């Protein structure tokens, strides 16, 4: 987190941070690797106490850590980012393949075909946007390069028999 022109970092478990922000994890000790505020975690440089007090209005480490957890930026390695990107591409392609067909043959497209088409239209995945929203965008953009249409849904409604329905009406007062 950048505050008052200074950089403040905490060492924490990435998946636990997400759980903390979603209010699933409430134990701060489970989230933090070390209860300390750093100017550079990878080098092990602790933040200057005066800088922490100026930026956060307190020198209480746990209070500062909570603020950084809530509002700070989460650093993700290139490997993790690439893995998240691949997962998101697969999710979007799976959603599109479930909801779309070739209108000429009325046959569904497979996820790999959708992935190839996404590459062809140069669709860039946004990691912090839901896969469902992006799937709708992809479908509209794919119409320019291939025949694609939403699957028609078949809805069947099953209700009570005439006898059960009349019985229900008699006793529904």
Q: Please give the tally of structural domains in the chain.
A: 2
Within 8 A by CB and 6+ apart from 27, the residues are none
Instruction: Tell me the pLDDT band of 169, cut-offs 50, 70 and 90.
Output: low
- Length of the chain equals 173
The average confidence (pLDDT) of the chain is: 86
CA dihedral 36, 42, 43, 49 (to 10 degrees): -30
Q: What is the pLDDT of residue 15?
A: 80
Q: What b/e sequence results for 107-119 when a residue is b if at least 16 CB atoms lie within 10 Å of its CB, and e otherwise?
A: ebbebeebbebbe
Instruction: Tell me the pLDDT band of 173, cut-offs 50, 70 and 90.
Output: very low
Helix (H) or strand (E) holding 129: none
Instruction: Tell me the pLDDT band of 94, cut-offs 50, 70 and 90.
Output: very high
| Residue 149 Cα to chain centre, angstroms | 26
Q: What is the pLDDT of residue 168?
A: 55
Q: Are residues 63 and 93 in the same domain?
A: no
Decide if 67 contacts 110 (C-beta within 8 A). Answer: no
Q: What b/e sequence results for 72-95 when a residue is b if at least 16 CB atoms lie within 10 Å of its CB, and e otherwise?
A: beeeeeeeeeeeeeeebbebbbbb
Q: Are residues 52 and 98 in the same domain?
A: no
Higher pLDDT, 144 or 169: 144
Which residue range(s) make up the domain with 107?
A: 78-150
Instruction: Tell me the pLDDT band of 172, cut-offs 50, 70 and 90.
Output: very low
Question: In CATH, what number is assigned to the domain containing residue 18?
Answer: 3.30.1250.10
**Across residues 104-111, what is the average pLDDT?**
92
Which of the 8 DSSP states describes residue 107? E
Question: In CATH, what number is assigned to the domain containing residue 143?
Answer: 1.10.10.900
How do residues 18-71 score in pLDDT, each as one tens digit?
A: 888 888 888 988 989 998 999 998 898 999 999 999 999 998 999 999 999 888
Give the residue from 40, 37, 70, 42 showing the smallest Cα distance to 54.
Answer: 37
């Amino acid at each position: 987190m950048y505050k008052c022109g200074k950089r403040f970092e905490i060492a924490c478990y990435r998946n636990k941070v997400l759980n903390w922000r979603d209010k699933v994890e409430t134990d701060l000790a489970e989230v933090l690797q070390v209860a300390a505020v750093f100017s550079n975690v990878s080098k092990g440089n602790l933040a200057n106490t005066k800088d922490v007090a100026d930026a956060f209005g307190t020198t209480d480490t746990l209070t500062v850590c909570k603020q950084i957890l809530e509002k700070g930026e989460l650093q993700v390695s290139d490997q993790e980012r690439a893995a998240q990107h691949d997962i998101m591409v697969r999710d979007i392609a799976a959603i599109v393949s479930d909801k779309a067909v070739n209108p000429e043959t009325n046959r569904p497209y497979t996820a790999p075909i959708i992935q190839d088409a996404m590459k062809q239209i140069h669709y860039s995945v946004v990691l912090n946007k839901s896969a469902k929203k992006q799937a709708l965008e992809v479908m509209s953009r794919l119409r320019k390069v291939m025949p694609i249409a939403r699957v028609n849904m078949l809805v069947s409604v099953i209700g009570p028999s005439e006898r059960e329905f009349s019985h229900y009406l008699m006793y529904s007062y």
